[in-house]
């Protein structure tokens, strides 16, 4: 049985008080910290990179779940490994040699994830599914926090979970974008087990909001 994990996205944190915000969510029981790296090419926006990761790594020993929204992520795998990543997720759309990039992540001793944009079919995972620890299904178009969950993604989550079960794989399914109190039950019920949440967690009463999502997640352990 796989565990349900909350991965708060620090993209929505107050960067002026990043250490405090991280302590709040870790203290509330979040096991992962979702680190969104954007390059202004693969996605329109630019977020933050290595120096920020290095300094927050000193702040916490929490599991760093690094989501690379960058073109040719193979250029930066070793660098992010050195900055303290525990898991690196690359987009299938961003690398020409997905299989090789996954091996590169694993060769660094890290867990490997593959992300799919909402319009990318699940077929993109054929031939690599056995190799990855986690599949990230984007539930909004990547690039910004605070967007609305795309309802068609629920069927995509369900189809992937069924496929994994048929293959006898316990791979994690992460969902990212628009996850909040009103949408989290739907994704958990469909078979997601790692939930990213940015704007639904950070802001006022960060610890309480993280705890509320964690409480809902505890109700869903049925698969
Ligand atoms: C979007 C990022 C997300 C984002 C989620 O491109 O990958 O991780 O921070 O933000 P919310 O939870 O606000 O939709
Ligand atoms: Zn993300």
pTM for the model stands at 0.98
What are 151-169's pLDDT values in tens digits? 999 999 999 999 999 999 9
Q: Is the minimum distance from the CB of 8 to ligand 1 under 6 angstroms?
A: no
**Closest residue (by CA) to atom 9 of ligand 1?**
145
Predicted local distance difference test score (pLDDT) of residue 1: 67
Dump pLDDT digits (tens) for 58-93: 989 999 999 999 999 999 999 999 999 999 999 999
Q: For residue 34, which atom of ligand 1 is closest to its CA?
A: 8
Please give the pLDDT value at position 117: 99
From the CB of 36, is ligand 1 less than 6 Å away? yes
Beta carbons of 19 and 33 less than 8 angstroms apart: no
State the Cα–Cα distance between residues 104 and 54, nearest whole angstrom.
21
What's the pLDDT score for residue 2? 79
Residues of the chain short of pLDDT 50, as ranges, are none
Sheet containing strand 5-8, strands side by side: 5-8, 194-197, 172-176, 134-138, 111-116, 87-91, 63-69, 32-38
Q: Are 19 and 210 in contact (CB under 8 A)?
A: no
Confirm if 153 and 129 have CB atoms less than 8 A apart. no
Is the minimum distance from the CB of 143 to ligand 1 under 6 angstroms?
yes
Residue 87: predicted pLDDT: 98
> What is residue 221's predicted lDDT score, i.e. its pLDDT?
76
């Amino acid at each position: 049985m796989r565990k349900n994990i909350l991965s708060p996205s620090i993209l929505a944190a107050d960067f002026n008080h990043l250490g405090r915000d991280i302590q709040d969510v870790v203290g509330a029981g979040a096991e992962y910290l979702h680190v969104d790296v954007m390059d202004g090419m693969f996605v329109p926006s630019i977020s933050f990179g290595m120096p920020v990761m290095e300094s927050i790594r000193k702040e916490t020993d929490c599991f760093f779940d690094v989501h690379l929204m960058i073109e040719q992520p193979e250029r930066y795998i070793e660098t992010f490994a050195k900055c303290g990543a525990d898991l690196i997720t690359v987009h299938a759309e961003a690398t020409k040699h997905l299989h090789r990039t996954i091996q590169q992540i694993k060769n660094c001793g890290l867990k490997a994830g593959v992300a799919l944009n909402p319009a990318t079919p699940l077929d993109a995972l054929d031939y690599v599914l056995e190799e990855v620890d986690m599949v990230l299904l984007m539930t909004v178009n990547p690039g910004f926090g605070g967007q609305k969950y795309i309802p068609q993604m629920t069927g995509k989550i369900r189809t992937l979970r069924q496929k994994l079960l048929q293959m006898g794989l316990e791979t994690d399914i992460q969902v990212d974008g628009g996850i909040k109190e009103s949408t989290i039950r739907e994704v958990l019920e469909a078979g997601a087990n790692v939930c990213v949440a940015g704007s639904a967690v950070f802001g006022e009463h960060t610890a309480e909001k993280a705890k509320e999502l964690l409480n809902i997640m505890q109700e869903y352990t049925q698969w």
